[in-house]
Amino acid sequence: MYADVLPIDPATVEAARVLQDDPIQLAMNSGEEFELVCTVTEKETTRLCRRITDATGTPMTVIGEVVPSDSGNTWRNESGTHVLVSGGYDHFLK
């Protein structure tokens, strides 16, 4: 994921500041940030994003790329690549 383009609500960024937490980790694990995510081929990205936006008025944001699984779940910003720590409530945990 590309940290600089993630659509994180300003209230989440402020909560992370107050809690001294990382806004990306908070957004990914709090359960209160809801965005629809889909994957498409790089070739189809521009066309599909334009069609969805035209049809729904919903802005689309390319937030990253799918990489080999041995890379793990990561996000990047100007300081480098960081591991996305899994957390939050697990609805499927028994």
Q: What is the pLDDT of residue 50?
A: 94
Q: What is the pLDDT of residue 33?
A: 62
2 forms bridges with which residues in the sheet? 76
Q: What is the pLDDT of residue 89?
A: 65
pTM exceeds cut of 0.75: no
Q: Where are the domains of the chain?
A: 3-83
80 forms bridges with which residues in the sheet? 77
Query: What's the distance, Cα to Cα, between the start and end of the chain in Å?
Result: 29
DSSP alpha helices (H): ranges in 30-71? 45-56
Q: What is the pLDDT of residue 51?
A: 95
Q: What is the pLDDT of residue 32?
A: 65
Report d(CA 93, CA 10) in Å as an integer. 31
The answer for residues whose C-beta is within 8 angstroms of residue 31's C-beta and 6 or more apart is: 88, 89
Consecutive sets of 10 residues in the chain, 94 residues long: mean pLDDT of each?
85 93 83 75 92 93 83 79 74 70
